[in-house]
């Protein structure tokens, strides 16, 4: 089921704080809905922002002081195009599924995995992986003297981490592997949040996929992915940068076919 959740004023930027404050009403509602397997989106800016932009779609009067507007009495009257306003959190993942996961092939040249995959030289050799993108600050670059090329993105899986600042250099490194007909493993500790975020950003850069579709595509290849709220917000910001031309898209013919597969 697709569900839109909104409160008074929470924005995409506020979601990092929501993820830290696990006692907030919004956090508990989101967690409950996600555990039930629903597809959940959060309205950026809450009811206050929406009512200012789309007053005709709201039942309560804007003449009423906004501090006294009751969300239970205010609802959307019809469906509107939300794409620029929505944030998509991810489904919960069970620990045994994470522990059992092996490197997942997302694209012909791109694998998404965990520290265990990065440490397994025989596995890397069998998959013909010669590039490794290490999205941690602590996992060693195990085989940098054995023909494996490495790049480190020193990121933590936290509500404070700015991962977006590394998107372009990570994408450039992945492209270097592709252009050299090599295969690349993108990994963090568990292959769930940080490395998944970089992989989704790569798809956004090189296709016309919406963030939600890029997420679904990667989720289809590696069901355990679950970027944290903070990273999902940064992906949404990156998508907007691409749409606005702040960061130019570089469309790759070899990737275009995946757009119709979601």
Q: How far apart are CA 163 and CA 49, in angstroms?
A: 27
The DSSP code sequence of 189-225 is: SSSSSHHHHHHHHHHHHHS---HHHHHHHHHHH-TT-
Give, in order, the Cα–Cα distances in Å from 215 to each of 50, 144, 205, 247. Answer: 25, 31, 13, 19
Is 60 among the residues known to form the active site? no
What phi and psi, each to the nearest 5 degrees, are found at residue 131?
-120, 140
Q: How far apart are CA 105 and CA 1, in angstroms?
A: 28
**Which of 58, 60, 72, 188 is labelled catalytic?**
188
Which region, left, alpha or beta, applies to residue 245 given φ > 0 means left and ψ of -120 to 50 means alpha?
A: left
| Positions marked active-site | 188
């Amino acid at each position: 089921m697709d569900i839109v959740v909104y409160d008074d004023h929470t924005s995409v930027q506020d979601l990092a704080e929501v993820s830290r404050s696990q006692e907030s009403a919004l956090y508990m509602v989101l967690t409950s809905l996600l555990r039930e397997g629903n597809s959940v989106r959060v309205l950026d800016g809450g009811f206050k922002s929406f009512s200012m932009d789309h007053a005709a779609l709201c039942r309560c009067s804007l003449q009423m002081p906004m501090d006294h507007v009751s969300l239970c009495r205010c609802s959307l009257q019809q469906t509107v195009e939300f794409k620029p306003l929505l944030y998509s959190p991810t489904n919960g993942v069970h620990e045994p599924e994470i522990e059992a996961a092996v490197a997942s092939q997302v694209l012909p040249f791109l694998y998404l995995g965990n520290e265990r995959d990065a440490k397994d030289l025989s596995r890397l050799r069998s998959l013909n992986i010669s590039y490794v993108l290490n999205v941690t600050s602590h996992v060693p670059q195990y085989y940098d003297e054995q023909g494996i090329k490495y790049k480190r993105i020193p990121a933590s899986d936290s509500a404070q981490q700015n991962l977006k600042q590394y998107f372009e250099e990570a994408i450039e490194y992945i492209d270097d592997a592709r252009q050299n007909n090599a295969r690349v493993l993108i990994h963090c500790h568990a292959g769930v949040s940080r490395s998944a975020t970089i992989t989704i950003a790569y798809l956004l850069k090189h296709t016309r996929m919406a963030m939600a579709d890029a997420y679904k595509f990667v989720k289809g290849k590696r069901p355990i992915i679950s970027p944290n709220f903070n990273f999902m917000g940064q992906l949404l910001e990156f998508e907007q940068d691409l749409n606005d031309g702040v960061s130019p898209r570089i469309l790759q013919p070899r990737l275009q076919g995946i757009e119709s597969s979601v």
